[in-house]
Amino acid sequence: MNQEERDMLANFRFSLIAPLVTRKLNKGERQRILTELACQTHLTPKGECKRFSVRTLERYVAAYEKEGLAGLIPKGRKDAARCRVIPPDLLDNAVALKLEAPDRSVRQIIRILELTGSCPEGFLKPSTLSSHLYATEPVQKLMEGNKEACRRYEMAYRNQVWQADTHHTLYLPHPKQPHKRRLAYLIVFLDDYSRLVTHGEFFFEENVLSLEQVFKKAILKHGIPEKLYVDNGAIYASRHLQGICARLKTHLVHAKPYRPQGKGKVERFFHFVDRSFKPEAYLLIEQGKLTTLEDLNQFFWAWLEKAYQTRVHGTTKEKPRVRFAQCDKELRYLDPVLLDKYFLWEETRKVDGAGCVSLQGNLYEVDLRLVKKKVTLRFDPQDLTRLEVWFEGEQYPDALPLNMTRHRHKALPELEEQPRESTGLNFLEATKAALAKEQAESLRNSLSFAKLIKEEDVHD
């Protein structure tokens, strides 16, 4: 704990006892306040909710009355830098064993010390040895040297694990503001075993609907994964994705915070996108050949197939598509109609006395047998006109819309109006052209009449 943290804790302790030390109290009132404070929950500087006993509060009061605010500052232990439980020679042996083989676990080191008679069995606790072992300077230097070292791993067969992530990679011309650009988000699902990109797509919005759309297309093309490994972003932590994975019997696993190494394969793919695809895409944007999101995805899918899926991977030494196809692990597919049902969103609502439920400001009528019961509503967030009604695992007739105020879920971005193509027609231009046509026709007729008169004079 540094000095700033000590001062914060002292100020916090003073705030606890302030009602007791800022004014004179009689004995009965003091005891009453102590009891009230002990029954309350307090938020500590570390963000923890804790209660403090009467004895602890009395100790704080005594320390403050004796030394002032300085008495509330935590005191460091005099033996903080020394091992208080493990004998120094025993700790030195443990350090030597760790330096000799860095992969040795704490439990294995303890077992070696016990078997060699260095300490009695059960004398060392793993947590105690671990805290002292990793606090020593030699082991800290060892760990710093191996900080970036991570073991390589890969799954044993296809669809055992898929990795998914989002990449903020390039900017497209803004569809409504030609002089500005808009960020495009690339969402990708990648098979860990083969490195095959089961599906990837660019979107202007990074939301749950975009993620689910990519996930569904990946499943339709390459089957259902056993496990899905994602980060802790909002769209990957949504309960909708959790529900989908539960229905698909796919284990959803989130990476540990601040540990990006687990998603190294998809991150490496993103680096390849930045090196190979991104520069070429920007050239097409500058040339005016790539202007829309649809254009971007068409170019990306072509590049993905020709420059990545059928290219020999540096680690596996095989082409991702070939490695995926040659694996004999049976793929698990699902009927597309049932898959659509699995991707429906869910909300829980209680049916009122009139047999109605509300969702997103809309009012629906349900089966009267469900009055006063909590039901599960399943729906497509892009079309709220149809709601499936479920109760205790049984499906009831769909809800009947009574009053519709929204047709799309508010969590979805508003639909952008596509600019209308110009007809190329203008009233003033049309009148001018019509007049010119009439004048040309009139002139042609005049010339034809004059020519006819002249020919008659010649014959006479």
| Residue 304 DSSP symbol | I
The pLDDT tens digits for 309-326 are 998 998 889 999 999 999
Q: Are residues 310 and 380 in the same domain?
A: no
Same domain, 183 and 267: yes
pLDDT score for 400: 93
Among candidates 187, 186, 197, which has minimal Cα distance to 162?
Answer: 197
Confidence at residue 203, expressed as pLDDT on a 0 to 100 scale: 93
Same domain? For 207 and 282 the reply is yes
Say whether both 131 and 249 belong to one domain: no
Task: Check if the beta carbon of residue 195 is closer than 8 Å to that of residue 269.
Answer: yes
pLDDT of residue 188: 96
Evaluate whether residue 78 is within a structural domain. no
- Higher per-residue pLDDT: 119 or 453: 119
* Same domain, residue pair 117 and 186: no
Q: Is residue 288 part of a domain?
A: yes
167 lies in the same domain as 309: yes
DSSP category for residue 302: H
Q: Do 221 and 266 fall into the same domain?
A: yes
Note whether residue 276 is domain-resident.
yes
Q: What is the pLDDT of residue 81?
A: 42
Closest CA to 8 of 63, 78, 72: 72
Task: Evaluate whether residue 422 is within a structural domain.
Answer: no
Distance separating alpha carbons of residues 454 and 280, to the nearest angstrom: 71
Last residue of a domain, one of 14, 37, 72: 72
Domain boundary among 72, 104, 132: 72
Query: For 346-380, b where at least 16 C-beta lie within 10 A, e where not — what string?
Result: eeebebeeebbbebbebbbebbeebeeeebebbbb
Residue 364 sits in a domain whose CATH number is 2.30.30
CA 15 to each of CA 6, 8, 26, 114: distance values in angstroms, whole numbers, following the listed order: 14, 11, 20, 49
Question: CA 106, 112, 114, 118 torsion: positive or negative?
Answer: negative
Cα(460)–Cα(455) distance, rounded to whole angstroms? 9
DSSP H helices, 103-175, are 106-115, 126-133, 137-145
pLDDT tens, 213-272? 999 999 999 999 999 999 888 889 888 888 898 889 999 988 876 555 567 899 999 999
Q: Model confidence over 356-410: pLDDT tens digits?
A: 999 989 999 999 999 999 999 999 888 899 999 998 888 999 999 999 998 888 8
* Main-chain dihedrals φ then ψ at residue 190, nearest 5 degrees: -130, 130
In terms of C-beta distances under 8 Å and separation of at least 24 residues, what long-range contacts does 3-10 make, across chains too? 5/45, 6/73, 6/74, 7/73, 8/45, 9/45, 9/72, 9/73, 9/74, 10/69, 10/70, 10/72, 10/73, 10/74
Is 186 inside any structural domain? yes
Same domain, 95 and 227: no
Q: How confident is the model at residue 77 (pLDDT cuts 50, 70, 90)?
A: low
316 and 215 housed in the same domain: yes
Strand partners, 357: 364
Which among 72, 105, 122 is the end of a domain?
A: 72
CB environment 215-246: b (16+ within 10 A), e (fewer)? bbebbeebbbbbbbbbbeeebbebebbebbbe
Which pLDDT value is given to residue 37?
Answer: 87
Q: Please indicate, yes or no, if residue 251 is contained in any of the structural domains.
A: yes
- Which residues are paired to 164 by β-bridges? 189
How many domains does the chain divide into?
A: 4
Identify whether 270 is part of a domain.
Answer: yes
Same domain, 243 and 386: no
Q: Note whether 51 and 41 are within 8 A (CB).
A: yes
**Is residue 61 domain-shared with residue 97, that is, in the same domain?**
no
Q: What is the pLDDT of residues 115-170, one digit of tens each?
A: 888 888 888 888 888 888 888 888 887 776 655 444 456 788 999 999 999 999 88
Report how far residue 445's alpha carbon sits from residue 396's, in angstroms, rounded to the nearest whole number: 79
Residue that wins the pLDDT comparison between 301 and 453: 301
Together in a domain, 200 and 276: yes
Distance CA 401, CA 164 (A): 37
Domain contains 440: no
Domain hosting 8: range is: 3-72
